[in-house]
Amino acid sequence: MKFFVDTADTAEIRELAGSGLLDGVTTNPSLIAKSGRKMADVIAEICAVVPGPVSAEVTATDSAGMLKEGRYLAQIAGNVVVKLPLTQEGLKACKVLTDEGTQTNVTLCFSAAQAIVAAKAGATYVSPFVGRLDDIGQDGMELIADIVQIYANFPAFQTEVLVASIRSPMHVVNAAKLGADVCTLPPAVLRQLFNHPLTDKGLDAFLSDWKKTGQSIL
């Protein structure tokens, strides 16, 4: 399973890149707005730090506008993935960009039917939002299970399942159990993956016993 980080905070990305766990980055217009910086500058900086796929989202709502923006974003760096909304216009643009050899991420996916049409449009990634489905009382993971099963039925579908809107380590574990290709994690959730209270407690006990021996390994 690949790990992407879901942020446009370049300081966070630099720090997390050092963990060796980062396979890529996803951004969206809200995250870029939060950074307070110009989108092209942020994306260029992220692409220079992380060699893996970096999603940059269009904001036009018609396919011609999306294509213009997508082509502009794609020339910022070779690892830019153009992110498009899961609308009829978005999928039209996705098909053209895919045919041009640009990587695409179709986002705001909330149903298995939407995931099917994203795969038919040749999306490199589809981003189902599990947390936002949970928020409205639905089961986000059920959607991941459906998409993984459907894509497995059709080997011609090359689209990877990129689980987005992740809120907790359990989302990551459950997505991994289902065989989803990628999880995009907010930095805080990525850090939570390392933690367990019994690890901290056990380490404290080991170190305290070790101190009593008066030894040092080197």
CB of 118 to ligand G3P, least distance (A): 15
> Which of residues 8 and 76 has its CB atom nearest to ligand G3P in the complex?
8
CB 109 within 8 A of CB 127: yes
Nearest in space to 50 (alpha carbons), one of 62, 42, 58, 59: 42
CB of 74 to ligand G3P, least distance (A): 19
The site string for ligand G3P over 100-139 (x = CB under 6 A, - otherwise) reads -----------------------------x-xx-------
The site string for ligand G3P over 140-179 (x = CB under 6 A, - otherwise) reads ------------------------xx--------------
Among 6, 9, 69, 160, binds ligand G3P (CB under 6 A): 6
The structure tokens listed for 17 are: 């890149």
Q: Which residues contact 107 (CB under 8 A, 6 or more apart)?
A: 28, 55, 57, 83, 84, 85, 86, 127, 164
Three-class SS state of 104: strand
Catalytic residues: 83
2 binds ligand G3P (CB under 6 A): no
Residues contacting ligand G3P: total by CB under 6 A: 9
Q: How far is CA 139 from CA 7, 117, 119, 133, 145, in A?
A: 24, 21, 22, 6, 10
Q: Determine whether 211 is exposed, middle or buried from the number of CB atoms within 10 Å of its CB (0-12, 13-18, 19+).
A: exposed
Our measurement of the distance from residue 185's CA atom to the centroid of its chain's CA atoms, rounded to an integer in Å, reads: 6
CB of 175 to ligand G3P, least distance (A): 12
- Interface positions, 19-78, toward ligand G3P (CB under 6 A): 26, 28
What is the binding site for ligand G3P (CB under 6 A)?
6, 26, 28, 129, 131-132, 164-165, 184
